[in-house]
């Protein structure tokens, strides 16, 4: 059984290791070795994780008896953008990312955010689709000089947005 806690600045080193583990352990089926290396390198060079942790709202999942041992995490930064969502390979497919995502969505709703957005990888897109997110567009980006396809996605959080999305659908 796992519990959630709010992320702290002191979690940064562990989050970087967890991010690396998630990419290296789970991306093999979907990405080339060059893409995996670029993705991992991007996290350590860009300061993106540190900035998101400092400026955003994040949750981490940990075993009940080990609150400092994170197995998954997610961060909203800014408040309307799912910036990061990663899970250690050994802890994947146990519902941790879904639980974090559900709680981040609830947090955003409580703070009046009408819609969330993100840029999803091949790893996260299926989970987001199952959780009611919609693809707006595919795009190609460069990380460390290597091309990646990703998907801009949204999730309406208010009933007004949900009605508009259904009318478009």
CA distance 151 to 169: 18
pTM for the full model? 0.89
- pLDDT at residue 1, rounded to an integer: 59
- pLDDT at residue 82, rounded to an integer: 98
Identify the CA nearest to 138 among candidates 123, 148, 124: 148
Low-confidence ranges of the chain (pLDDT < 70): 1-2, 159-169
Tokens of 83: 């910036």
- pLDDT at residue 3, rounded to an integer: 92
CA distance 31 to 25: 11
- pLDDT at residue 49, rounded to an integer: 92
In CATH, the architecture of 2-168 is 3-Layer(aba) Sandwich (3.40)
Domain positions in the chain are 2-168
- pLDDT at residue 162, rounded to an integer: 46
- pLDDT at residue 86, rounded to an integer: 95
Residue found under tokens 């979690």: 11
CA distance 78 to 7: 15
> What residues pair up with 74 in beta bridges, in sequence order?
59, 85
Core vs surface per residue 114-150: b (16+ CB within 10 A) or e: ebbebbbbebbbeebeeeebeeeeeeeeebeebebeb
């Amino acid at each position: 059984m796992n519990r959630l806690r709010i992320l702290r600045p002191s979690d940064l080193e562990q989050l970087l290791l967890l991010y690396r583990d998630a990419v290296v352990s789970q991306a093999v089926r979907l990405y080339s070795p060059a893409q995996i290396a670029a993705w991992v390198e991007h996290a350590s060079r860009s300061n993106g994780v540190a900035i998101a942790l400092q400026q955003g709202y994040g949750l981490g999942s940990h075993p009940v008896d080990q609150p400092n041992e994170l197995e998954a995490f997610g961060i909203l930064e800014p408040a309307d953008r799912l910036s990061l969502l990663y899970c250690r390979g050994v802890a994947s497919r146990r519902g941790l990312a879904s639980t974090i995502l559900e709680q981040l969505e609830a947090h955003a709703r409580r703070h009046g955010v009408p819609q969330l957005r993100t840029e999803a990888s091949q790893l996260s897109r299926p989970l987001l689709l199952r959780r009611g997110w919609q693809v707006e567009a595919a795009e190609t980006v460069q990380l460390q000089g290597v091309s990646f396809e990703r998907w801009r996605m949204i999730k309406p959080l208010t009933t007004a947005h949900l009605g508009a999305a259904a009318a478009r659908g």
